[in-house]
């Protein structure tokens, strides 16, 4: 008997009465998120309003200064002003106002619009749309039929009124792609593809039936159902379908099926799709088990658990460390062949996530699959109070947050997982530069000083062809192994900074070679010598004429400096507080092309005598040449990071990274975002509002902000303050 390698679709549907469709209402473009020509200004503590108005009026670009609450005598409200400026000058004027000592903050004024609700008569019965904040999300992004989610499933009722104009083939023509013959209508699960497509993209705002999460998005519908023992199962050809959808440029693909056995062919198809920039979303399965279910448990797939109306894990949902996120999946009203039905299971939860990701892709078309993954996970609500919960992963998804967030939190269950999240953002595959080698650095080291061999290697990341991966010193972490397989599937070069005493151990080195990698260790006798050896390797690639200098006994200034090294391809060497190590001096003496040294930190961090010593080191080969030495420093490590950013990234970066200035591990691979996204690393204490210097640097830029680490490292309050600063 024929036994296809198929996965049962474990979900029950109850069919309800059908309703006719109606013509869709024309959609209008969502409004801007900030008001043009307007700023909100908070005066500093102790500042009287009347005298400062004249000072604000004198700032170039300011047209009018008004009290925000003119009739109130409350001192707290009296501190707020509304400043009108010429259109297009908002960011410049905000930055100028922020520099005034009388001003605590100056920011763009956000636009508030009524939350959008469609006119579908049964919308009120769809509790899941309220739970994910759909109304707020639709106020910003409602998609269009050109923004399409791929759905590989049993089969689809293309004649259903709510799917009219929704289903497409890969070539963009209306219809259904057929990778399998399909099933009789009375076969179990034959209705499955219809309701999955309905949850994601049923006709919305058409005065008929139900609404969908994706509102106006389309579906690339792939029929993969085959009849077997009275059921409609998924043909093994689904993996081929995934590859072809990825080749066609479909950016999100939904897989609402599962099984307990892994398949190497399926894993290969997923890896390929990810490499093409496609996000793969899969149902966790409905066995109530912690055993991995596939394809949800495959690397890079977003595994989705199901929650109920009270934000509790549905009892039948699988759960485990391989689950990434949860979505409503109990009693969801959607379309079924010939009508409507209520469905329950992770098969219903997965298209909720897929539709959200597709709306994010419509809102930000430059994002690749793994970047979309980061946006969806970053927006999830931690419904159990735990950042990572084996039951619900990051928590329950939020559509409103996913399409409005201005910051993206990159973190994992441990420091290695956080580095992997950074790698997904920096090197998502698809249209980005291909990675041809990896720098593997330690997550743990004697004295927790892994940064001393990691940060000087940042310059190797310049250009984007080299990735940085974090792992344990004495074992190859599973997340690190996934990244190596993603970047270098056929072996390739792995660079190990530092000796086995503080860098990656020889045991891991042997493991890497057994996996087919060419392993190159770059090390010196001590920290300074290792930095010098890495500097030689960087100079050999970039022909840099400048070098960066930081203290080798504290990471606070070296961390943001490493981002500059990655962005500009510059070497980073170490000095002491009041002396220059022999290895650093020898390196400077040997460099004929280096004319400029950029020091990080004030004279308390690096004494003036160090500058003299550096010039002496250079004198042997720089006779008759000027050696320029600059300092980037502030009153604190936070202010120093801003000074470094201004010098090496300018005043308007396209992206920034925010890191805890007192805990290095979550930010140590942030140089990858500097190399590929132009993002400087700014420091913070991570416990409250972002510091004034950071706020002034970001004021009104609208830049993408990456938060490196979980809420325990950079708090949610700090993240919210960061978002406000960029508006």
Mode of pairing for the β-strands spanning 80-85 and 34-43: antiparallel
Distance CA 649, CA 703 (A): 13
Name every residue whose Cβ is closer than 8 Å to that of residue 595 and which is 6 or more positions away in sequence.
Answer: 545, 546, 622, 625, 626, 627, 628
Distance CA 683, CA 681 (A): 7
C-alpha dist (Å) from residue 315 to 223, 307, 345, 383? 29, 9, 10, 16
Chain centroid, CA 629 distance in Å? 36
Distance CA 308, CA 131 (A): 10
DSSP 233: E
Per-residue exposure over 477-506, b if at least 16 CB sit within 10 Å of its own CB, e if not: bebbbbbbebbbeeebebbbbbbbebbbbe
Name every residue whose Cβ is closer than 8 Å to that of residue 366 and which is 6 or more positions away in sequence.
Answer: none
Q: Where are the beta strands (DSSP E) in 6-147?
A: 12-16, 34-43, 62-67, 80-85, 103-110
Residue 289 a catalytic site member: no
Residue 411 a catalytic site member: no
- The residue from 192, 477, 517, 598 that is catalytic is 192
Chain centroid, CA 618 distance in Å? 43
C-alpha dist (Å) from residue 12 to 18, 126, 188, 202, 311? 18, 17, 9, 19, 20
Distance CA 564, CA 599 (A): 12
One-letter-per-residue 3-state SS of 278-297: CEEEEECCCCCCCCCCECCC
C-alpha dist (Å) from residue 236 to 269, 517, 590? 11, 32, 61
Nearest C-alpha neighbor of 440 from the set 488, 485, 499, 484: 484
Q: Secondary structure of the chain: what % helix, strand, coil (to 5)?
A: 35, 20, 45
Radius of gyration for the alpha carbons in the chain, expressed in angstroms and rounded = 28
- The residue from 153, 308, 363, 400 that is catalytic is 153
Distance CA 548, CA 121 (A): 64
Q: Let me know: does 62 contact 82? Beta carbons within 8 Å.
A: no
- Let me know the angle formed at the C-alpha of 379 by 378 and 383, rounded to the nearest 5 degrees: 105
Q: Let me know: does 395 contact 681? Beta carbons within 8 Å.
A: no
Residue 263 a catalytic site member: no
- The residue from 347, 499, 641, 721 that is catalytic is 347
Report helix, strand or coil for 522.
Answer: strand
Torsion angle, alpha carbons of 289, 295, 300, 306, to 10 = -50
Distance CA 254, CA 156 (A): 14
Distance CA 362, CA 252 (A): 11
Name every residue whose Cβ is closer than 8 Å to that of residue 618 and which is 6 or more positions away in sequence.
Answer: 588, 589, 591, 594, 627
Both tokens assigned to 507:
């045991």
Distance CA 451, CA 443 (A): 9
Active centre residues (catalytic): 153, 192, 347
């Amino acid at each position: 008997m024929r036994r296809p390698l198929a996965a049962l679709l474990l979900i029950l549907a109850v069919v309800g009465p059908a309703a006719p469709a109606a013509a869709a209402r024309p959609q209008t473009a969502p409004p801007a998120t900030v008001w043009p020509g307007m700023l909100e200004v908070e005066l500093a503590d102790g500042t009287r309003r009347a005298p400062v108005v004249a000072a604000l009026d004198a700032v170039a670009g300011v047209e009018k200064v008004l009290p925000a609450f003119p009739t109130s005598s409350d001192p707290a409200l009296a501190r707020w002003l509304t400043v009108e400026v010429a259109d297009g000058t908002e960011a410049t004027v905000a930055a100028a106002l922020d520099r005034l000592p009388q001003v605590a903050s100056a920011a763009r004024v956000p636009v508030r619009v009524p939350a959008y609700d469609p006119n579908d008569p049964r919308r009120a019965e769809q509790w899941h749309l309220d739970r994910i904040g759909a109304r707020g999300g639709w106020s910003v992004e409602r998609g269009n039929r050109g923004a399409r989610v791929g759905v590989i499933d049993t089969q689809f009722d293309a004649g259903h009124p709510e799917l009219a104009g929704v289903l497409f083939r890969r070539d963009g023509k209306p219809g259904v792609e057929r990778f399998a013959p399909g099933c009789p209508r009375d076969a179990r699960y034959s209705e499955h593809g219809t309701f999955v497509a309905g949850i994601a993209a049923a006709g919305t705002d058409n005065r008929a039936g139900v609404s969908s999460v994706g509102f106006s998005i389309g579906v690339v519908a792939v029929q993969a159902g085959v009849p077997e023992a009275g059921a409609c199962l998924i043909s093994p050809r689904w993996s081929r379908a995934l590859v072809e959808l990825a080749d066609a440029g479909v950016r999100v693909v939904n897989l609402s099926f599962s099984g307990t056995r892994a398949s190497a062919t399926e894993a290969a198809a997923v890896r390929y799709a990810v490499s093409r920039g496609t996000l793969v979303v899969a149902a966790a399965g409905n066995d109530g088990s912690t055993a991995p279910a596939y394809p949800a448990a495959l690397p890079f797939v977003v595994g989705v658990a199901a929650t109920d109306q009270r934000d509790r894990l549905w009892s039948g949902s699988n759960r485990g460390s391989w689950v990434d996120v949860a979505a409503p999946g109990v009693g969801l009203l959607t379309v079924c062949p010939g009508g409507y039905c209520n469905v329950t299971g992770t098969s219903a939860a997965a298209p909720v996530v897929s539709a959200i990701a597709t709306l994010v892709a419509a809102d930000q078309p430059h994002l690749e699959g793994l970047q979309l993954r980061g946006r969806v996970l970053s927006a999830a609500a931690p419904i159990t109070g735990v950042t990572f919960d084996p039951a619900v992963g990051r928590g329950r998804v939020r559509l409103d947050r996913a399409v409005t967030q201005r910051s993206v939190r990159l973190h994992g269950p441990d420091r290695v997982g956080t580095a992997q999240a950074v790698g997904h953002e920096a090197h998502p595959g698809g249209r980005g530069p291909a990675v041809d080698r990896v720098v593997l650095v330690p997550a743990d080291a004697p004295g927790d000083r892994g940064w001393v061999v990691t940060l000087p290697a940042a310059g190797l990341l310049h250009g984007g062809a080299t990735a940085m991966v974090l792992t344990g010193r004495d074992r190859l972490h599973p997340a690190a192994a996934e990244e190596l397989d993603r970047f270098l599937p056929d072996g390739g070069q792995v660079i190990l900074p530092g000796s086995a005493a503080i860098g990656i151990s020889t045991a891991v080195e042997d493991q890497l070679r057994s996996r087919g990698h060419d392993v190159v260790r770059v090390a010196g006798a001590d920290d300074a010598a290792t930095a010098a050896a890495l500097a030689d390797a960087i100079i050999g690639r970039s022909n840099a004429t400048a070098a960066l200098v930081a203290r080798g006994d504290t990471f606070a200034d070296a961390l943001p400096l490493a981002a500059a090294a990655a962005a500009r391809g510059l070497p980073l060497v170490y000095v002491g507080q009041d002396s220059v190590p022999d290895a650093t001096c020898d390196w400077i003496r040997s460099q004929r092309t280096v004319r400029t040294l950029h020091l990080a930190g004030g004279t308390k961090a690096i004494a003036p005598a160090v500058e003299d010593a550096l010039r002496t080191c250079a004198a042997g080969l720089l006779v008759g040449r000027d050696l320029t030495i600059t300092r980037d420093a502030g009153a604190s490590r936070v202010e120093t990071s801003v000074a470094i950013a201004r010098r090496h990234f300018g005043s308007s970066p396209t992206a920034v990274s925010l890191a805890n200035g007192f805990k290095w591990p979550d930010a140590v691979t942030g140089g990858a975002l500097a190399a590929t996204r132009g993002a400087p690393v700014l420091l913070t204490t991570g416990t409250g509002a972002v510091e004034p210097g950071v706020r002034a640097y970001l004021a009104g830029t609208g830049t993408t902000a990456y938060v490196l680490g979980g809420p325990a490292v950079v708090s949610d309050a700090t993240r919210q303050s960061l978002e406000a600063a960029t508006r």
